[in-house]
C-alpha cells in the first residue's frame, strides 16, 4: 500500500462515519417530508446532494469512481448503517490503539513501569506495563488496519451494487470481454476456413476433376460422334462448375451486400431458399459496413439452419432499429431445439459479440425458434 493510500483510506472511512450520521438524519426527516407534495423537490435535491458527496468521497479518498447511476434511498440507508457502525468501530479501535501505544511509550521512557505477570497455558511470563502496552497497541494496530481495509472493501462493494462499477472494474471487464471475443473470432475464422475448404473439396474440386476426365477422354477418342458427346458433357459440367463457384463465392460474401445493400442481399437469400422467406426491412438507412455484414450473416445462417435442421415451412426476418441499435430477428415454425453452442450459432454469437452486440436464441423443443441479434449503430473502435 502506498504512503498516500495509508492516509487516504482511514480518512475516507472516518469521513464516511460523519457522512453516515448526516445521511441517517436526512432519512429520518425525508420519510415524513416526502409525504408532503410541496417538500418532495427539496427531498429529491437533498438525496441528490448526499449521493454526490458520497461519490466525491469514494473517488477522492477510496479511489472508486462510480458510473452515473442513482442509488436512491436504499443506497443512503445501507451507507448510513455501514458508515456509522463500521466507522465507529474503526474510530474506537484507532483511539484505543493510540492510547496503548502512547501509554506504553510513556511508561518505558519517562514513567515507572510496574511488573505485570502474564499467565498462558503452560507458560508464565513477567513483563512490565510499558512493554505490555506497546505489545497490545501493536497487535490492536494490526487488527485496526484489517478492519479499515475490510470496511473500505465493503464500501466498494456497496457503491458498485447501488451506483455502478468503478472505472477500473469497467476496464477490467472490457479487457476480459475483448480477450474472449478476440479468441472467439479466431475460432470463427478457422471454422469458416474449414467450411470453405469442404465446399471447394466436395463441390468445386469434384466437378473440376470430372471436367478434366471428360476432356481427356474426348481428346483421346477417335470416334467423332463420341467426341462430340463428351464435349457436350464437358460443356454441361463446366456450366455446373461455374454455378458451384458462384454459389461458394456467394456463401463467402455476396457482392450484392456491398453494391445494393442489406435489403437486396437478403432478398437474394429468400429467392434461393426452398422454404418461403418473408423479409420486413425496417431500417431508415444502411448501417455501418461491419454491422451490416454481421446482420446479413446472422439472417442467412438462421435461414439455412431453419431449412436444413428445423424442417420449417415458413420463415420471417424482421430488421428494426432505434436511436442507438439495429436488430435482426429470424423466426421459423420448425421443430425447435436449436443448440446455441453449436458450431454455426456459436460462430454467429462470437461475430456479434465482437461488435459489442447481443445474440439470443429462443428455441424450445417443438418450436418455434427465434434468433435475435442486436448491434450498436456505431461499432467499437479498435
Residue 371's DSSP bridge partners are 330, 361
Mean pLDDT of the chain: 81
The grid cell for 27 is: 432519512
185, pLDDT greater than 70: no
SS3 224: helix
Pairing outcome for strands 369-376 and 325-332 = antiparallel
Asked if 83 contacts 109 with a C-beta cutoff of 8 angstroms, the reply is: no
> What pLDDT is stored for residue 326 in this prediction?
93
How does residue 60 score in pLDDT terms, banded at 50, 70 and 90?
confident
Neighbours of 38 (CB within 10 A): 7
Contacts of 351 (CB under 8 A, 6+ apart): 185, 188, 294, 297, 298
How does residue 236 score in pLDDT terms, banded at 50, 70 and 90?
confident
99, pLDDT greater than 70: yes
2, pLDDT greater than 60: no
Q: Does the predicted TM-score (pTM) go above 0.75?
A: no
Torsion over CA: 259, 263, 269, 271 (sign): negative
21, pLDDT greater than 80: yes
Percent of the chain with pLDDT over 70: 83
Exposed (0-12), middle (13-18) or buried (19+): which is 315, by Cβ within 10 Å?
Answer: buried
> What pLDDT is stored for residue 169 in this prediction?
63
> What pLDDT is stored for residue 318 in this prediction?
94
How does residue 135 score in pLDDT terms, banded at 50, 70 and 90?
confident
> What pLDDT is stored for residue 232 in this prediction?
84
The grid cell for 110 is: 519517562
Phi-psi region of 63 (alpha: psi -120 to 50; beta: other; left: phi over 0): left
> What pLDDT is stored for residue 331 in this prediction?
92
Write down the residue that cell numbers 428494426 correspond to: 320
How does residue 183 score in pLDDT terms, banded at 50, 70 and 90?
low
In this predicted model, which residue has the larger pLDDT, 19 or 242? 19
How does residue 146 score in pLDDT terms, banded at 50, 70 and 90?
very high
> What pLDDT is stored for residue 3 in this prediction?
59
In this predicted model, which residue has the larger pLDDT, 65 or 133? 133
CA distance 295 to 380: 16
342, pLDDT greater than 80: no
Range of weakest confidence among 34-43, 199-208, 325-334: 199-208
> What pLDDT is stored for residue 138 in this prediction?
92
In this predicted model, which residue has the larger pLDDT, 328 or 251? 328
Mean pLDDT, range 148-176, rounded to an integer:
78
> What pLDDT is stored for residue 92 in this prediction?
92
Asked if 300 contacts 373 with a C-beta cutoff of 8 angstroms, the reply is: no
In this predicted model, which residue has the larger pLDDT, 326 or 6? 326
The pairs formed by 78-82 with CB atoms below 8 angstroms and a separation of 24 or more are 78/158, 78/162, 79/16, 79/19, 79/20, 79/23, 79/54, 79/158, 80/20, 80/21, 80/23, 80/24, 80/27, 81/20, 82/16, 82/20, 82/151, 82/154, 82/155, 82/158
Name the most confidently modeled range: 161-165, 311-315, 335-339. Answer: 311-315
Amino acid at each position: 500500500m502506498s504512503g498516500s493510500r495509508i492516509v487516504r483510506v482511514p480518512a475516507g472511512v472516518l469521513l464516511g462515519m460523519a457522512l453516515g450520521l448526516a445521511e441517517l438524519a436526512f432519512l429520518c426527516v425525508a420519510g415524513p417530508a416526502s409525504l408532503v407534495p410541496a417538500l418532495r423537490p427539496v427531498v429529491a435535491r437533498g438525496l441528490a446532494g448526499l449521493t454526490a458527496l458520497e461519490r466525491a468521497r469514494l473517488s477522492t479518498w477510496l479511489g472508486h469512481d462510480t458510473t452515473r447511476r442513482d442509488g436512491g434511498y436504499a443506497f443512503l440507508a445501507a451507507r448510513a448503517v455501514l458508515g456509522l457502525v463500521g466507522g465507529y468501530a474503526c474510530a474506537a479501535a484507532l483511539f484505543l490503539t493510540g492510547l496503548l501505544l502512547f501509554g506504553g511509550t510513556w511508561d518505558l521512557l519517562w514513567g515507572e513501569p510496574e511488573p505485570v505477570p502474564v499467565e498462558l497455558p503452560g507458560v508464565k511470563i513477567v513483563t512490565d506495563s510499558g512493554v505490555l502496552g506497546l505489545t497490545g497497541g501493536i497487535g490492536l494496530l494490526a487488527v485496526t488496519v484489517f478492519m479499515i481495509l475490510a470496511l473500505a472493501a465493503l464500501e466498494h462493494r456497496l457503491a458498485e451494487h447501488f451506483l455502478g462499477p468503478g472505472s477500473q472494474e469497467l476496464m477490467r471487464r472490457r479487457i476480459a470481454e475483448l480477450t474472449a471475443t478476440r479468441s472467439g473470432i479466431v475460432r470463427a475464422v478457422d471454422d469458416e476456413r474449414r467450411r470453405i475448404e469442404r465446399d471447394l473439396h466436395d463441390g468445386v474440386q469434384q466437378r473440376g476433376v470430372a471436367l478434366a476426365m471428360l476432356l481427356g477422354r474426348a481428346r483421346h477418342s477417335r470416334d467423332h460422334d463420341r467426341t462430340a458427346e463428351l464435349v457436350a458433357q464437358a460443356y454441361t459440367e463446366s456450366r455446373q462448375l461455374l454455378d458451384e463457384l458462384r454459389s461458394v463465392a456467394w456463401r463467402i460474401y455476396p457482392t450484392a451486400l456491398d453494391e445494393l445493400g442489406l435489403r437486396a442481399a437478403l432478398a437474394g437469400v429468400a429467392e434461393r431458399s426452398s422454404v418461403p422467406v418473408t423479409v420486413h426491412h425496417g431500417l431508415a438507412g444502411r448501417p455501418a459496413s461491419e454491422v451490416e455484414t454481421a446482420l446479413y450473416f446472422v439472417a442467412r445462417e438462421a435461414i439455412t439452419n431453419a431449412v436444413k435442421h428445423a424442417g420449417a415451412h415458413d420463415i420471417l426476418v424482421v430488421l428494426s432499429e432505434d436511436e442507438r441499435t439495429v436488430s435482426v430477428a429470424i423466426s421459423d415454425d420448425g421443430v425447435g431445439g436449436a443448440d446455441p453452442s453449436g458450431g454455426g450459432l456459436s460462430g454467429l454469437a462470437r461475430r456479434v459479440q465482437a461488435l459489442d452486440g447481443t445474440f439470443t436464441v429462443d428455441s424450445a423443443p417443438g418450436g418455434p425458434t427465434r434468433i435475435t441479434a442486436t448491434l450498436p449503430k456505431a461499432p467499437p473502435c479498435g
